[in-house]
Amino acid sequence: MKVKVFDEECERDLENSINNFLNGNVDVIDIKYQVAIAINGEEQIYCFSAMIIYH
């Protein structure tokens, strides 16, 4: 069993990264998804991440 962690600044980039990884013919056991938001002054910073557990 192995894990692969992805961390991107926007949802579209996360989707692309995960889809590219999954094209490698892996046997996925589970996918964990998370969004974190931080505020820096008037700017909102988003962090979209996912962990794929696979064989």
Lookup result for tokens 């069993």: 1
pLDDT tens-digit map of 4-19: 999 999 999 999 999 9
pLDDT tens-digit map of 11-48: 999 999 999 999 988 999 999 999 999 999 999 999 99
Report the distance separating Cα 21 and Cα 14, nearest Å. Answer: 11
Lookup result for tokens 């962090």: 47
Cα-atom radius of gyration of the chain, to the nearest Å? Answer: 13
Report the distance separating Cα 40 and Cα 24, nearest Å. Answer: 37
What was the pLDDT predicted at 25?
Answer: 86
What was the pLDDT predicted at 23?
Answer: 95
pTM above 0.85, yes or no: no
